[in-house]
Every structure is written in structure tokens, then in C-alpha cells.
Structure 1
Amino acid sequence: MPETEYTLRSEILDNERRIWIREPASLQTDLDLLIVLDAELYRNRVQAPQIIEDLFESGTLAQTLVVYVSSVSMDVRWIECPCYPPFAAFVTKELIPSIHERYPKTVQAKERVIAGLSYTGLAASFVALTHDGLFTKVISQSGSYWSNDCWLIREFDGQSLNHPPAFFLDVGDKETQEYVWHKEDVVQTISQVEGVERFRDMLLKNGYEVRYDTFSGGHSAEAWATSLPNALKWALG
């Protein structure tokens, strides 16, 4: 499992984070790009590196550069994930240029995919929707579209992009709890299922391509692991 790692300092966010990169066998031809937010959750709990390694071995991701982006800490995650413009600026003005500099063959990537889960599923969608044409596809697993009274859904209803990304949305059939107090100032009034379905309906209404899957389970790493291979095959297969 060939990986490289570096630390990226963000002047925009005034912090630094670890970046892990899984390189394909050849770096001499144009590469697709997969940016995975929530690196610690995906790497340590979802076991995404092994899932992705299996897809490399099957040829599904043969020419894809996989970039895992650290969330720094849970406290930072609470700040950066709920549709936070400085985080989107970090991705577009600091992270992607650093990838292009290290891997010039990603500049002409045919597929540019950003992936996240729960709060970072929301963040991935926000980054893609606010930067027209930057990403071709979004993978959002159990995205927290309930955040801030469904702000992202309301903000983009009626808006159109010149180069809209396609969306893979999934959610578990047991993610039905309402009125969840995540912390003192963050309350989720609708269920994860309802939030994802509202976001899906807004996208379809406004002409986006959407694949919507439900999986058996709740808001858990084990459940996301069962859905992730289908999401990656949809995005990059």
C-alpha cells in the first residue's frame, strides 16, 4: 500500500494538518483525483485504505490519486465543517494547489471527486456547490444536511451551476432519531434520513444528477464501510 505523507500549513485557517496520499502505480499519465475528508475516521474506523486497496487491485481505481485530509481535531471539525467559507477556501486555494504542485498529472484530471461522511459529507457538498466546476462528483455518506436549519438546502434551491457536480448520497435506514443535542449549541431537529432526502430532492428539482442509496444500519463506521465501495465505483469505476 504505497503512501506518502506530508503536513500542510493553512494560512487561511491558521492551522496545519496531515495529508496522506495513496499513489497509483504510474504517475506518468493523467490522474483522476479523489479527496477524502475526515481522514482519521475514514482511515481508522471505516478502514477506507483497505477498501481502496481492493479497488486498486481490481483495476477500478487504477489511475487515481487518493488524498486523505486530516480533520485536525474534533473541536476544529465543529468549526470547519458546517458550511464554513474559510474551509472551502483552504481546499481550493491551498490544498488543491499543493496537490497539483506535487502531482502535475492531476491538473487535467477527468474526474475530481470529494468525499466525506456526516459533518464532512456536508462540507464536501458545500465546497463543490460554491466552486462551480472544481469537482465533477461528490460522495456524501450520511451527510448532515440538517445543519443550521438545513441552510445548504435553502441556499442552493433555485440556483444553477454551469458545470454542476453529480452526487452520491447515502444514509442508513436506522438514522431516524430527531431532536439530537450534539453539543450545547448544536441541535439536530430532523432525522439524518429526512435531511439527506431533503437535500436529494432539492438537487433533483434543480437538475443535478443524483444517486441515492440507503443501507441497513445507523450512523456508524461499519455501515459506511459497506456503502463506500459502491460509492467509489460509481464515482471512479
Structure 2
Amino acid sequence: MNSEALHKDMKLQVYLPAGYTETVDYPVLYLLHGRGGNEKTWNKDMNVSDKATQLIKLQKIKPLIIVMPQYDNSYGTNYADQTYSKDGRQYGRYEDYLIKDLIGYVDSHYSTIADRESRYIGGLSMGGFAALFLAFTHPDLFSKSGGHSPAMFMDSTEKLGWLFKDEEMRKRTDPLYLVDQLELKNLNIYLDYGNKDMIHVINSTDQLYAKLKAKGIDVQFQTSSGGHDRNYWKANTDQYLMFYAGF
């Protein structure tokens, strides 16, 4: 698909449930890859399409559409007006691409239930940061969000210049900052990490969970054996799908 926000073509993989028909409207789950990943990651590393098909057959989740977009190494933010690469990361209007271009494309090309109650977003590592940020700032578009080993940081903004241009941008994009500013009452959130994950992921996720609980937000938290890798995420993919689309 062509992205108006980024002025370039972007790839995506779309899972359609068995028996998909345009006479039925389906909920949509957007799954975001981690750094160094692409639109193939969730299928190649986690077998998400096969797992969804199996869970639908077992009537553990509703039939749904799963959209897995390329969004480069961008963290999903509008870091810059122009699209460019630097030090292995990509910058541009990636939030606008995901929120405006991608959702608009999916809703116009597939038989979707185009409302927040039936639209979910989750991601792993970098994608966990992006999914939480996008859901927190666009609660009119999403009802559920998952941060799976989310790559969040508690370092000073000066040390994170590659992610936040300045303190103002951090306040607008960092889930750890946004949770203090926004209501988030209508969101259902899932957080998890492996017990051998990196310390910054563990500490920042624990802090976000505590803040969400203190505000009375509907949040689930899970931790189990594993590291910051495909083996951990693959072992938990069924749980993720049941959170988003379970009965």
C-alpha cells in the first residue's frame, strides 16, 4: 500500500479467517513487529496465523482479521515531517501512517467492523511501545492494547534523543508519561514479559502496570519463563490472541 504520510510504499501481511466473506464484518487486530522485524515477523517467528486458525476452530477466539504492517524501526511516532534513516532507525510521520493510512486502507479493502470496540492493537518489544502509545493517544480507535515485552525506557530524555526529540515529544508519546495525563478508562490493556528479559523492560513495565492499577484501568499482567526473544513470544501467542479476541 502507498502511504501518504511517508511518501512511500509500505508492505503488510493480512490474515483472513477460514470462510472469510464480504457479507460478514470482522473485528481487526493490528500486530506490530519489534526492532529489526517487518511485516513477516509475527508469522515467521510466532506462527500467529496458524495459531489463530486453530483457536478459531476450537472456538476459543472469534473469527478475526489480523493485520501485520511494516513500520520500519520507527517506534510508530511522528518524529519528523520528512522520512529519513539514521543509525539504523527510520524517522517520519509513522503515527500518521499507522493511524490514518493503514487503518483507512484496511477498512476500505476488507470487511471490517470499523469501530473501536472491534479494533485492537498489540506489539512486541518496539511494537509494544508503539501499540501502547497509539492506543493511549487514540482511545477512540482501539478498545484493547497489548504491550508484549514493551521496549520502554526510564533513562533521561537527553540519553534517549533517538526516540524523543525533546521533553515535549516524550510527554506526547511515552506510555510512562501518558498514563499520568490521560483517562484511559475505556481501554483494556495486557502487559507481559519473560522473567529473563532486560532489566529496563522489566522495571518500566512494572512501573506502567502499577500506574494503571492505581488509576483503576482494566489491565492484565503476566510474567512467565523466558527472555526477550521469539521463543518467549511464540510460547505466549495463544494467550495474546485470547486476550484480544477471546469469548
TM-score using structure 1 length: 0.80
The one-letter amino acid paired with 1:160 is: L
Shift of 1:142: 0.2
- AA in 2 matched with 1:142: S
Q: Distance in 2 between matches of 1:154 and 1:229?
A: 27
Confirm or deny: 8 A CA contact 1:141 1:171 kept in the other structure. Answer: yes
Counterpart secondary structure, 2:180: coil
CA displacement, residues 20-63 of structure 1 (integer Å, 9 cap, x when unaligned): 21222243223111111123321211222222222222223443
More strand by share: 1
The whole-number CA distance in structure 2 between the counterparts of 1:203 and 1:144 is 17
Q: Identity rate of aligned residues, in percent? A: 21
Query: Where does residue 127 of structure 1 map in the other structure?
Result: 134
Cα 1:32–1:82, aligned 2, differ >3 Å: closer, same or farther? Answer: closer
Deviations 1:166-217 (A, max 9, x none): 111110101144xxxxxxxxxxxxx211111111112222332110000201
* C-alpha displacement of 1:12: 0.8
Aligned residue runs from structure 1 range 24-39, under 5 A = 24=17, 25-27=19-21, 28-38=23-33, 39=39
Instruction: Measure how far apart 1:230 and its partner are.
Output: 1.0
Contact preservation (8 Å) 1:83, 1:122: no
Q: Tell me the SS of whatever aligns to 2:65.
A: strand
1:48-197 correspondence runs (5 A): 48-71=48-71, 76-77=72-73, 80-81=74-75, 83-84=77-78, 86-108=93-115, 110-146=117-153, 149=156, 151=170, 152-161=174-183, 164-177=186-199, 191-197=200-206
- Pair 1:16 & 2:9 matched: yes
Could you tell me which runs of 5 or more consecutive residues in structure 1 were left unpaired when the two chains were aligned: 1-7, 178-190
Q: Does the C-alpha gap of structure 1 residues 169 and 21 become closer, same or farther in structure 2, counting only changes over 3 Å?
A: same
Tell me the residue number matched to 1:214. Answer: 223
1:106, distance to aligned residue in structure 2 (A): 2.4
Aligned CA distance change for structure 1 residues 41 and 104 (closer, same or farther; 3 Å): closer
Q: What SS does the corresponding residue of 2:40 show, helix, strand or coil?
A: helix
**Residue 42 in structure 1 maps to residue 36 in structure 2:** no
**Which amino acid in structure 2 is aligned with residue 161 of structure 1?**
E
* CA RMSD in angstroms, aligned pairs only: 2.2
Distance 2:24 2:116 in 1: 10
1:126/1:56 CA distance change after superposition, 3 Å: same
Aligned residues: 211
Unaligned stretches of 5+ residues in structure 2: 34-38, 80-92, 158-169
Query: Please, what TM-score do these two structures have when normalized by structure 2?
Result: 0.77
Which aligned segments of 4 or more residues in structure 1 are displaced greater than 6 angstroms? none
Instruction: Give distance in 2, aligned partners of 1:220 and 1:89.
Output: 28
